[in-house]
Chain A
Amino acid sequence: MSQQPTTTELSLNLDEPVDQRPPLLLGDNSFRGITEAVCRPVEWVPPRGWYIFFGVSLALLGVLVLSTAYLFYMGTGIWGLNNPVGWGWAIVNFVFWVGIGHAGTLISAILFLFRQRWRTSINRFAEAMTIFAVMCALLFPTIHVGRVWVIYWALPYPNQMGIWPNFRSPLLWDVFAVSIYGSVSLLFWYMGLLPDLATLRDRAKSQLRRVIYGIFALGWRGSHRHWQHYERAYLILAAISTPLVLSVHSIVSFDFAVSQLPGWHTTIFPPYFVAGAIFSGFAMVVTLMTIARTVFGLEHIVTRRHFENMAKVMLLTGSIVGYAYAMEFFIAWYSGNPFERFVFLNRAFGPYAWAYWIMVTCNVIVPQTFWFKRLRRSLLWLFIASILVNIGMWFERFVITVTSLHRDFLPSSWDYYSPTFWDICALVGSFGLFFTMFSLFVRFLPQVAMAEVKAIVPAAHVHHATLHPAAPHAGPGAPAAPGAAPAGSLATPASLPQEA
């Protein structure tokens, strides 16, 4: 399998901890080559495909704006909500979008702590995805409250009513968890962007670009005294984002688990939700990355090895999700609780059985194909599978939310929930918001963390072995060898300036 890259490419891989692995980066991985490849989509006139994609996304965003305006005018009655099912698609979409975001933080924080260097090619992309997904997620509970103009009542602030929020409610925990998750992700993302914004500033051809990127780069000048604090800050943010991301979907699951409803009131929910979140988030990264690397010519930075690794994470988290489904059934039977048992039989064989089996097919069966290396490395199958997984994960939230509600303890109040036109508009429109933000991101910001990728190429390492042979005739006066030599031939294209 390592025969795909050419011999020169393999020689770049000498410092990999495990032999026989394909290199992280293929092709031109000089510093300049990385800068050029990553900056090109930001500095060139985008291909026509970008305009088409942006146009469609903008149209879908328009759907969101119009349907939300109508919602504000009419109220939540335009949705398919009915008496037992008070949480419809809005909450399904909320949990779906929060989950999507989790892969970004996992890649940026947890994989950083585990020293998984392959993350550097995809972390920027995944972090951007997190932020846009959290924006979509925050939208849904906000518009679901009905009287959206008083949404600020959810915040603890001194008011003339003399009341304070109920801090014992998981719904309030959610307000804090998701908004703080969004804020911290934004901070982390922006800090990671600083050196790359400086690159764009320094390469800017027009005064306007120079000023705008310059302001956002905050005057970054690659100083090592700065890098020292910066790297420390990066490590700390990764360390505090890790428990944060695990807490966020746990708290989202508390929305369900802290209630007394059969099918919701289970202790397995927090880990099960977190695994599902990472599962769906990685699927979304795969979907987007497959498109973006082709459109923007980043195949040598985001390689098959990255996709294979992501497939492995999906296999793991997908298996955890499958285990959780099985365990829910086991506990429903083992607990001997008739209500619990009814809910789960109703899930699998009741009126929503179609949704349940879509969920099982997409989330349990599809990822099991990743046991096969051929399928892990097939971009076509990964692309299809990642979309199936996200369909499945949306249905998981639908199944959890709707099947537990639609047949509650009192059979006289049972009802069947189905979405209306406006529910569909809100979901489709949220994809519009997500993809609009994404189109703007790939157009105006570097989608690969250049500074981080440069730091992992072999030419970036200080070669101590070549330091010492020079030592005998060293001393302040000793002329050093021309710098390209110590870093080996690999460094040559990087360290020679192209123009005077």
Chain B
Amino acid sequence: MAEHAADPTWGVLAEFASPTALYRACEQLRDAGFTRWDAHSPFPVHGLDRAMGLRPSRLPWVVFGGGMLGAAGGLGLQWWTSTIAYPQVIAGKPHFSWPAFVPVTFELGVLAAALACVLGMLHFNRLPRLHHPIFRSTRFEGVSDDRFFISIEAADPRFDPSATPGWLTQLGATQVELLAE
């Protein structure tokens, strides 16, 4: 692209021809000690977490916390409204007739867990982020179709603008391009 010469460089983008080639290159990058890099694919390539050396997502804890808060809030709401705010004897039941409160408690727990899940996922991924330097590459438009990429940021301590692109080609990249910030 035209930005090849532009400074400063954001990083390098290398295209790979298949999930297997991508997987193999990721293992090499992981073993070479790169930290600020990423793989891009149209679908989640099975096992790539291991090839990239990623730690498991912490999302389950966020969802658990959200769900528990939602359920506790739901039960608290029903307890407070039916014992303190608006105590009524209905069907001869005690004010805090908790078995009747199970459905709403459960539903609110699920709602909060689902919200925590989706919002937590977006937060961990720093999305929405509508612009990103990687979108400068026209080749990258194929990432949502049938293309596989690895990107390494210039901010990575091991990144070398003269050597890294050539090394990526050796790892099997079919196309390598530098991207401007």
Contacts and interface: CB of A to CB of B under 8 A. Distances in A.
Q: Which of B108, B117, B145 has the most CB of A within 10 A?
A: B145
Contacts of A494: 18, 146
Interface in A445-500: 450-452, 454-455, 459-463, 466-467, 470, 476-484, 486-487, 491, 494-497
A345 interface: no
Contact of A219 (B24, B38, B97, B128): B128
A179 to B, nearest CB: 9
B161 interface: no
A164 B86 contact: yes
Given A31-B145, A177-B103, A218 B130 contact: yes
Contacts of B32: 476
Contact of B145 (A202, A229, A254, A463): A202
A247 interface: yes
A232 B44 CA distance: 11
Contacts of B147: 495, 497
B57 interface: yes
Nearest to B90: A168
A91 B45 CA distance: 46
B170 A477 contact: yes
A203 interface: yes
Contacts of B139: 497
Given A164-B86, A183-B111, A240-B117, A483 B144 contact: no
Given A180-B107, A215-B130, A481-B172, A187 B114 contact: yes
Contacts of B135: 221
Interface in A184-206: 184, 187-188, 190-191, 195-196, 198-199, 201-203
B41 to A, nearest CB: 5
Grouping DSSP codes into helix (H, G, I), strand (E, B) and loop, the A interface class, with mixed when no group exceeds half, is helix
Interface in B49-102: 49, 52, 54, 56-57, 59-60, 63, 67, 77-78, 81-82, 85-86, 88, 90-91, 93, 97, 100-101
B141 A202 contact: yes
A295 interface: no
A228 interface: yes
A163 interface: yes
A342 interface: no
A330 B82 CA distance: 40
B143 A221 contact: yes
A156 interface: yes
A163 B86 contact: yes
B144 A202 contact: yes
A415 interface: no
Q: How large is the interface on A (under 10, 10 to 19, 20 to 34, 35 or more residues)?
A: 35 or more
Contacts, number: 262
Given A32-B146, A35-B145, A244 B104 contact: no
Contacts of B56: 232
Nearest to B174: A483
A176 B103 CA distance: 9
Interface in A280-331: none
Contacts of A48: none
A247 to B, nearest CB: 6
B152 interface: no
Contacts of A497: 139, 142, 146-147
A42 to B, nearest CB: 13
B108 A483 contact: no
Contacts of B129: 218-219
B25 interface: yes
Contacts of B124: 229
B4 interface: no
Contacts of A115: none
A393 B161 CA distance: 66
Given A32-B146, A483-B16, A495-B17, A229 B114 contact: no
A488 B122 CA distance: 35
A354 interface: no
A240 B118 contact: no
B165 interface: no
A50 interface: no
A229 B38 CA distance: 14
A486 B132 contact: no
A101 B28 CA distance: 47
Nearest to A39: B145
A167 interface: yes
A251 B107 CA distance: 10
Interface string B141-181: 11111111100000000000000000100111010000000
Contact of B20 (A31, A232, A487): A487
B19 interface: yes
B85 A491 contact: no
A477 B172 CA distance: 10
A483 B39 contact: no
B118 A191 contact: yes
A500 B149 CA distance: 16
B42 A188 contact: no
Contacts of B45: 224, 227, 460, 462
A457 to B, nearest CB: 9
B143 A240 contact: no
Contact of A195 (B59, B93, B103, B144): B144
Interface of B: 16-26, 28, 32, 38-49, 52, 54, 56-57, 59-60, 63, 67, 77-78, 81-82, 85-86, 88, 90-91, 93, 97, 100-101, 103-104, 106-108, 110-111, 113-115, 117-118, 120-122, 124-125, 127-132, 134-135, 139-149, 167, 170-172, 174
26 contacts: A166-B90, A167-B82, A173-B104, A180-B108, A191-B118, A195-B42, A195-B144, A199-B42, A199-B144, A202-B145, A218-B127, A218-B130, A229-B125, A233-B117, A236-B60, A254-B103, A461-B46, A462-B19, A466-B20, A480-B171, A483-B20, A483-B172, A483-B174, A484-B17, A495-B18, A497-B139
